Amino acid sequence: MFFTVIKDSSGWLAGVHPVVLVLLSSIIAVGVLCLGFRLWAFTIKPAFRPYEPRELPYWIPVLGHAVQYVKSGQDVITRARKYFGDTRAPFALTLGGEKMFFLTDPKQVADFHKNTTSLAFDKIAQELSTTFGVSQKTLQTTYRRPNSEEVDVPAKIMQIQNPRNKSLAELNNDFWKQQLVPGPLYYKLQDECLQYLDNSLKPESIAHNYKGPTDEKGTTVSLLRLMQDVLMDAALRAFFGDKMMELEPNLIRDFIDFDEDNWKLWYKWPDAKEMFAAKSKLSKSVQRWLNTPEEERPGAAFIVETFEKTQRAMGTPIEDLANILVLIIFVANTNTYKVCFWALAYILNDPDLLHKVQQESAAAFQADGTLSTKQLMDSSPWIAAVFHEALRWCSASTSLRLVTAPTIIGGKELPVGSRVAVPARQTLFMPEAFGDDADVFNPERFIRDEKLTKSPSYKPFGGGTTYCPGRFIARQECSVVIAILLKNFNTDVLGEGKAPELDLTKPTTGLVTPKDGQDVIVRLSPKSEILP
């Protein structure tokens, strides 16, 4: 229809319907503009600015690679690295109007972690808290350094000296380390976690808590769900005391609903009603806990008590305090169940590995049946190796910093005001560090080379000033779960007998979960003959 020939035409174009003409010329104009933009932005301009990191070309200004990044950030980053000849020079991606810089070379990553002068984490942490719903007013008081004329409220309430006039946010980092780096507060937390894990993994608890098929051979459970329940129950009770679970028995499921879609919060995803509903439930639960008289909710860990005491003393509204505590629940829980799931998914599906791990687990229990955490942590090389490999396998965290002064990394200048990212997965699969089988799950690499965890390519817990203080408790909890599970049960994986695939398409801020619908379904048969 559009191409009806007009008989009295005065030239070749007259043979085309005018609407088509307008459409064609618009398409050509847009095409020319796009070509011009690409030529200018990605060929001409970089030639005049060789000191700037190169940018992966794209067609639509402003949008850049945003859509592909949300679909699979890892793919876009890998594509960019390869596009520039895999030299691992810093490069940039435009993500919805923002040009962000990426580092994928271990040496540059080390420079990133060392740099505390021109690469700032503060602003990133504040953005995170704002996204989590903490008000600007509370952030201002938390990040403001006390001046010498006024009362230093947090230092006074905590009865500590603060000679460097640290803000509450800076003091919080010290409090986290006090809680999580081995020392008296850490050992207390560790012992409590162990007790809770032990309770949850008793045959009678499993049979009672899992309504799945229970027969004379045992109880059939989803490994993913088991890891979520067991690890979160221990962490929530150890951090908040038993009252939290008594008040909010659905807290774990609400957290998982939020966790599965938490990326929508960071990416400001428009269709995020369910994620916000789950987040709001978490916040309300914590508020109910906070509104319970203190004497009725004993047993909170030092870090939770300290956050509550200091923020209340600063006059923080309860909604903000609850959101801050939800952030604690988030950092303490979002990753550990995932690494533990992957470790067991591979152990249970590999008879040889299972045998080695079972032997180490058995050796960690003393004659009276108590677990020696020292033996487990210091003399169980295969359990340690599976943990390190599982972490390597499923890590997809990205550390961010704000550039506050001109910074040169990898010979390239990062502009002031921009954000620079280290996507952990890019170095975790380098054949130079992990060998030709880097893309295969193989814990033996950590047995062959004991120093591999010290490799600059192996940074699943980040580094520098924000080096994860939870790294000790995470490994400890995972090792304890493996040891107790294998001591208490014979395991029988149902189905295909292979570990699930990673879902690398879903955006994540930390560790990766299995593809939708994939799991490990396992029958747990108590080793003691009598079934509860």
Which residue ranges make up the site for ligand HEM (CB under 6 A)? 173, 176, 180, 331-332, 335-336, 339, 397, 399, 460-462, 465-466, 468-470, 473-474, 510-511
| Burial 9-35, CB ≥16 within 10 A → b, else e | eeeeeeebeeeeeeeeeeeeeeeeeee
The verdict on whether residue 468 carries a ligand-binding annotation is yes
What minimum distance in Å lies between the beta carbon of 39 and ligand HEM?
37
Q: Give the nearer residue to ligand HEM in terms of CB position, either 58 or 112.
A: 112
- What amino acid occupies position 144? R
Q: Give the CA distances from residue 114 to residues 108, 120, 180, 421, in Å, rounded to whole numbers and listed in that order.
A: 10, 11, 22, 14
What minimum distance in Å lies between the beta carbon of 511 and ligand HEM?
6
Q: Give the CA distances from residue 343 to residues 121, 234, 242, 349, 520, in Å, rounded to whole numbers and listed in that order.
A: 31, 18, 28, 10, 12
Q: Give the nearer residue to ligand HEM in terms of CB position, either 214 or 336.
A: 336
What minimum distance in Å lies between the beta carbon of 238 and ligand HEM?
9
Q: Give the nearer residue to ligand HEM in terms of CB position, either 185 or 247.
A: 185
Return the C-alpha torsion angle 294, 257, 424, 501, nearest 10. Answer: 140
- What amino acid occupies position 87? T
| Of the candidates 36, 510, 61, 480, the residue with the CA atom closest to the CA atom of residue 259 | 510
Q: Give the nearer residue to ligand HEM in terms of CB position, either 307 or 461.
A: 461
Return the residue nearest ligand HEM (CB atom).
Answer: 470
Question: Parallel, antiparallel, or unpaired for β 214-215 and 91-95?
Answer: unpaired
Show the tokens assigned to 49.
């600015």
What minimum distance in Å lies between the beta carbon of 95 and ligand HEM?
17
What minimum distance in Å lies between the beta carbon of 340 and ligand HEM?
8
Going along 171-254, which residue ranges are E strands?
214-215, 218-222
What minimum distance in Å lies between the beta carbon of 476 and ligand HEM?
10
Rounded distance between C-alpha atoms, residue 46 and residue 40, angstroms: 8
Q: Give the nearer residue to ligand HEM in terms of CB position, either 70 or 474.
A: 474
Q: Give the nearer residue to ligand HEM in terms of CB position, either 83 or 467.
A: 467
Q: Which residues are annotated as a binding site?
A: 468
Q: Which residues are annotated as a binding site for heme?
A: 468
